[in-house]
């Protein structure tokens, strides 16, 4: 269970994420009800490295939903829609939606992502059609200065490829505050108070 900001109960907040009841409020920065009005959609793209990595992807998506009120678009959460339309049509539809709503495409950069990127650059298709399609969209968009992308690195030994460096990149969990600020914008200035808690949850998901 996600457990958050103790100070909310002291301010009269009864958010279920703070004191485990079923009421929501607008004073807690981690409460979906308080953040949803400001959260923009995030399309979360990743390479399926392993079962453990998929658990991390879901944990990060949940943190974005809870902490920022983001409308997270994740194929693992929308298996029915992906199954009906197919992986690539689903991806393109989500990218269009995020673009219309001025949201963010979030690329998780892991060892698997790096390996598939080099396959994609070598003309071998990237191994995973959705991931290759995501790269095919991201690279020209970043070169043209269009779209909104953020890269989250999951391994300090990995560097972001030059063709993706126009996007802000953050090493998680250590740069969690800057990462959350990049996704939320300047309005969420109180994120500094909660960066350590968010980083700790990501460390647990990473098994550190």
- Domains in the chain, number: 2
Same structural domain, 92 and 24: no
Do residue 89 and residue 103 come from a single domain? yes
Q: Encode the chain (208 residues) as per-residue pLDDT tens digits.
A: 333 333 333 333 334 343 333 333 333 444 444 443 457 899 999 988 777 788 889 989 998 888 788 999 999 888 888 878 888 899 999 999 999 999 999 999 999 899 889 888 887 655 566 778 888 889 999 988 888 999 999 889 999 999 999 999 999 999 988 998 898 865 555 677 667 777 888 888 777 6
B/e letters for 96-109, b = 16+ CB within 10 Å, e = fewer, are eebbeeebbbbbbb
Residue 24 sits in the same domain as residue 63: no
Residues 126 and 187 reside in one and the same domain:
yes
Look up the CATH number of the domain holding residue 187. Answer: 3.40.50.11530
**Sequence-separated (6 or more) residues with CB below 8 Å from residue 152:** 60, 106, 107, 108, 109, 169, 170, 172, 179
Residues 6+ apart with CB under 8 A from 197: 4, 5
For the beta carbon of residue 60, count every other beta carbon within 10 angstroms: 27
Domain match, 23 and 105 both: no
Eight-class DSSP state of 82: H
What is the domain extent for residue 187?
38-206
24 shares its domain with 125: no
Q: How many Å apart are CA 85 and CA 70, to the nearest integer?
A: 24
* CA nearest to 45, candidates 92, 85, 81, 102: 92
pTM tops 0.75? yes
CA-to-CA separations, 131 to 39, 53, 119, in angstroms, rounded:
25, 15, 11
Residue 43 and residue 32 share a domain: no
Same domain? For 1 and 53 the reply is no
pLDDT of residue 190: 64
Same domain, 118 and 174: yes
**Both 57 and 98 in a single domain?**
yes
146 and 74 share one domain: yes
Say whether both 126 and 164 belong to one domain: yes
The CA distance from 103 to 97, in Å, is: 8
Rounded to whole angstroms, how far apart are CA atoms 14 and 198? Answer: 20
CA distance linking residue 31 with residue 206, whole number of Å: 24
């Amino acid at each position: 269970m996600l457990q958050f900001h103790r100070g909310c109960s002291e301010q009269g907040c009864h958010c279920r994420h703070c004191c485990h009841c079923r009421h929501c409020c607008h004073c807690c920065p981690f409460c979906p009800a308080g953040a949803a009005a400001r959260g923009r959609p995030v399309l979360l793209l990743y390479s399926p490295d392993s079962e453990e990595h998929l658990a991390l992807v879901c944990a990060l998506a949940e943190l974005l939903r809870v902490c920022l009120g983001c409308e997270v678009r994740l194929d693992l959460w929308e298996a029915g829609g992906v199954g009906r339309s197919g992986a690539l049509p689903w991806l393109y539809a989500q990218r269009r939606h995020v673009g219309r709503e001025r949201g963010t495409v979030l690329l998780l950069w892991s060892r698997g992502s790096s390996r598939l990127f080099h396959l994609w650059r070598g003309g071998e298709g990237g191994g995973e059609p959705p991931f290759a399609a995501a790269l095919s969209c991201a690279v020209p968009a970043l070169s043209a200065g269009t779209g909104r992308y953020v890269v989250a690195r999951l391994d300090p030994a990995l560097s972001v490829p030059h063709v993706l460096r126009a996007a802000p990149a953050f090493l998680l969990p250590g740069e969690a505050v800057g990462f959350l600020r990049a996704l939320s914008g300047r309005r969420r200035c109180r994120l500094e108070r909660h960066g350590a808690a968010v980083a700790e949850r990501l460390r647990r998901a990473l098994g550190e």
